[in-house]
């Protein structure tokens, strides 16, 4: 059974209404076989103080065509999660923001880490992997 990811984007920030939709079947490296393993859908609430957390250990999943879904469930526009891969800041997910991206976990240094801007924030996440 194949897993399909679909994104639909609509916006009125340009003079004409923008509508865009695309989908892809999530496949293993080489593109012939569908991904069949997943971790989640889960939530991680960071209680207490501001502290970085290792969400996925790069050494635990090895080489492959993995896909990651992240969502900041906060409703406070000032709250965000910093997302890092291999100690490089990928970006910030503000309240309601989400991300879906490929990840090659071929080394113990390719960890995905999250760093919340405030206490008691919740991140929703899922990993599709080989």
Strands (DSSP E) contained in 12-97 are 18-25, 37-46, 53-56, 66-72, 80-85, 88-94
Superfamily of domain 35-129: Jelly Rolls (2.60.120.10)
- pTM of the predicted model, to two decimals? 0.83
| pLDDT for res 116 | 92
Q: What's the order of all strands across the beta sheet hosting 80-85?
A: 53-56, 112-116, 80-85, 88-94
Average pLDDT of the segment spanning 91-119:
91
CB-based contact 106:18 (threshold 8 Å): no
| pLDDT for res 49 | 63
Chain centre distance of CA 41: 11
Average pLDDT of the segment spanning 33-58:
80
- If you average pLDDT over each of 58-62, 74-78, 100-104, which comes out highest? 74-78
Give 37's pLDDT tier (boundaries 50, 70, 90).
confident
For tokens 């992997």, the residue is 129
Average pLDDT of the segment spanning 32-38:
76
Helix (H, G, I), strand (E, B) or coil at 3: coil
């Amino acid at each position: 059974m194949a897993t399909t990811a679909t994104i639909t984007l609509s916006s009125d920030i340009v003079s004409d209404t923008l509508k865009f939709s695309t989908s892809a079947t999530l496949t293993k490296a080489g593109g012939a076989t569908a991904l069949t393993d997943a971790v989640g859908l889960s939530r991680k609430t960071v209680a207490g103080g501001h502290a970085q957390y290792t969400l996925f250990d790069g050494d635990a999943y090895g080489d492959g065509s993995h896909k990651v879904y992240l969502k900041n469930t906060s409703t406070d526009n000032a709250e965000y999660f910093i997302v890092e891969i291999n100690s490089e800041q990928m970006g910030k997910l503000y309240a309601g923001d989400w991300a879906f991206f490929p990840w090659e976990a071929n080394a113990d240094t390719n960890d995905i880490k999250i760093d919340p801007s405030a206490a008691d924030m919740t991140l929703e996440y899922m990993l599709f992997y080989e």
